[in-house]
């Protein structure tokens, strides 16, 4: 294998496991449970057994509190942690927009500028590992379900 090829692969792995992703994996934010959640939803990735439960407590139109719990690979868990940081305190409408933008980025949608998503851009490297994309989006789909439940009540 050429040196260029080596470097390309190393850098793809580095892209997958960006420092910020490892940091969230090692030091999860908002991990735990809420005392009075408005809704709680459990998401599982049947293929690999990743589990993420998202709890939300609405404060009027805002996402007052959010927490997640679960177990799984570094990508699924750090994505959950980064998500809670990104949406905490936002309005429900803003959170929904972010879910749409994030999942569009993971699909490789050209209309999305990853850099506009702040830290979440770090997860765009996962796109080069198609089997891992579901790991990255699990928490986000779970949040969408939790918000739907919370708003339905």
Partner 1 sequence: MRQETRDRVLDVNAIRADFPILQREVYGKPLVYLDNAATSQTPRQVIDALVRYYESYNANIHRAVHALGEEATAAYEEAREKVARFIGAPSAESVIFTRNTTEAINLVAYAWGRANVGEGDEIILTQMEHHSNLIPWQLLAEEKGAAIRYIEVTPEGTLELGNLSALFSPRTKLLAMPHVSNSLGTINPVEEIIAEASRRGVTTLIDGAQAIPHMPVDVQAVGADFYAFSAHKMLGPTGVGVLYARRELLEEMAPFLSGGEMIRKVTFEGATWNDLPWKFEAGTPNIADAIAFGSAIDYLDALGMENVRRHEVEVTAYALERLRAIDDVTLYGPDDPEGRGGVVSFNFGDLHPHDVGTILDRQGVAIRAGHHCTQPLMRCLGVTGTARASFYVYNTQEEVDVLMDGLKAARDFFR
Minimum CB distance to partner 1, residue 133 (Å): 12
Rule CB under 8 A: is residue 75 a binding residue for partner 1? yes
Minimum CB distance to partner 1, residue 36 (Å): 28
Judged by beta carbon, residue 12 or residue 59, the one nearer partner 1 is: 12
Minimum CB distance to partner 1, residue 74 (Å): 5
Among 20, 62, 73, 88, binds partner 1 (CB under 8 A): 73
- Tell me the backbone φ, ψ of residue 39, rounded to 5 degrees: -160, 155
β-partners of residue 67 are: 55
Rule CB under 8 A: is residue 1 a binding residue for partner 1? yes
Among 57, 13, 24, 53, smallest CA distance to 39 is for 57
Which secondary-structure segment (H or E) carries 7?
helix 3-16
Site for partner 1 in 12-31 (CB under 8 A): 12-13, 16-17, 22
Contact 147, 92 (CB under 8 A): yes
Measure Cα distances from 22 to 25, 27, 140 in Å.
5, 8, 19
Total residues binding partner 1 (CB under 8 A): 22
CA distance 153 to 112: 32
Q: Which parts of this chain interact with partner 1 (CB under 8 A)?
A: 1, 5-6, 9, 12-13, 16-17, 22, 47-51, 71-75, 129, 132, 135
């Amino acid at each position: 294998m050429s040196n260029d090829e080596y470097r390309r692969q190393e850098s793809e792995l580095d892209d997958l496991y960006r420092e910020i992703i490892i940091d969230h994996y090692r030091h999860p934010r908002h991990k735990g449970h809420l005392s009075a959640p408005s809704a709680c939803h459990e998401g599982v990735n049947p293929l690999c057994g990743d589990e993420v439960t998202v709890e939300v407590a609405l404060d009027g139109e805002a996402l007052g509190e959010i927490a997640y719990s679960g177990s799984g690979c570094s990508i699924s868990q750090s994505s959950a942690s980064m998500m809670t940081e990104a949406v905490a305190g936002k309005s429900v409408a803003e959170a929904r927009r972010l879910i749409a933008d994030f999942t569009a980025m993971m699909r490789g949608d050209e209309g999305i500028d990853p850099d506009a998503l702040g830290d979440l851009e770090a997860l765009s490297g996962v796109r080069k590992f198609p089997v891992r994309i579901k790991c990255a989006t699990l928490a986000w789909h779970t949040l969408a379900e939790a918000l739907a439940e919370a708003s339905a009540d």
